[in-house]
Amino acid sequence: MYTISKFSQLCKMSARMLRHYDKEELLKPELVDTTNGYRYYDPSQLDKALRIKKLKEYRFSLPEIRTILQSDSTIFTGMIQTKIDEISNEMSQNRQIIAEMQELIEKKVDLLQGIGRSYDILLGMRNETSVVSQRLHINLDDMDRYIDSLYDSAEESNIQLLGVPSTIFFDEEFSPEQCDVELMIPIICRKDEKISSEWQIKLLPQKMVATTLHIGSYDYIGYAHMALEEWVASNGYILEGPPYETYLKGSECDCHIEEYVTQINFPVIKKPM
């Protein structure tokens, strides 16, 4: 039997992705230790993991992969042909987009008019929450790897995780190669967790939070932050702590980047009169 960390190395998939496949009942571990929740995989499961990986490279969704794994070769051949047609259509659309972009250049059309969005702002009370936390200076491109590592460390320390990760960004200026961040994952806090020099367990107090949802690429998430800043200022509130982003749906899911869902949270208090 292999631990999830070792199996992830063998199949070149992140442990976070393997947990997602377990949740989707696509690739479940051979054994889950009921005392600590550790996942173990049998060597025979490597073939299935690699098939799933290859099918993802072929642009199949998880429901489609599940159907393929449960079907015979005839159905698989038909689905392959359908996928070829879909990709061919996408290529045609991309060629059309390229042609339009070239036409814009030739006609010198100015599209730099902004793509602002509207956001619904909600105000609520965040309950007191325990989190496993790690402060890091990282390259932003490596964010998923560090989140996976924090998940692994928590699991190895017998910590029960409760939800999706959040990030606080501390830099005054954006520097993607060297970001000062704090990663947080909510947990069930007990008294017997192992202590680590790399991360800590902390308690987030009950706090009023103004929040909104950003759908799509992180490139445009600044519009959500601006909407919250404007709402806070115009409704008589001030910040009471650093904003943080919670990744409800992201790269670990089998979805297009435009389907990502990020919750932006501003801890606030009423401005003193």
Residues with pLDDT less than 70, the chain = 107-116, 190-195
Quick one: pLDDT at residue 73? 81
pTM: 0.63
Q: In angstroms, how far is the first alpha carbon of the chain from the final one?
A: 63
pLDDT of residue 258: 79
Say what the pLDDT of residue 253 is.
Answer: 79
**83 touches 75 (CB < 8 A):** no
Q: What is the pLDDT of residues 79-111, one digit of tens each?
A: 999 999 989 988 988 888 888 788 777 766 555
What's the CA dihedral at 200, 173, 262, 257 to 10 degrees? -120
Domains detected in the chain: 2-69 (1.10.1660.10), 122-270 (3.20.80.10)
* C-alpha separations of 206 from 72, 154, 161, 209 in Å: 54, 23, 19, 9
Give me the DSSP letters along 62-87: HHHHHHHHTS-HHHHHHHHHHHHHHH
pLDDT at 181: 94
- pLDDT tens per residue across span 237-260: 999 999 999 999 987 777 778 789
Please report how many Cα atoms fall inside a 13 Å half-sphere around the Cα of residue 205, on the Cβ side: 6
pLDDT in the model for residue 265? 97
pLDDT value at residue 154? 85
For residue 27, the model assigns a pLDDT of 92
Rounded distance, CA 45 to CA 58, Å? 20
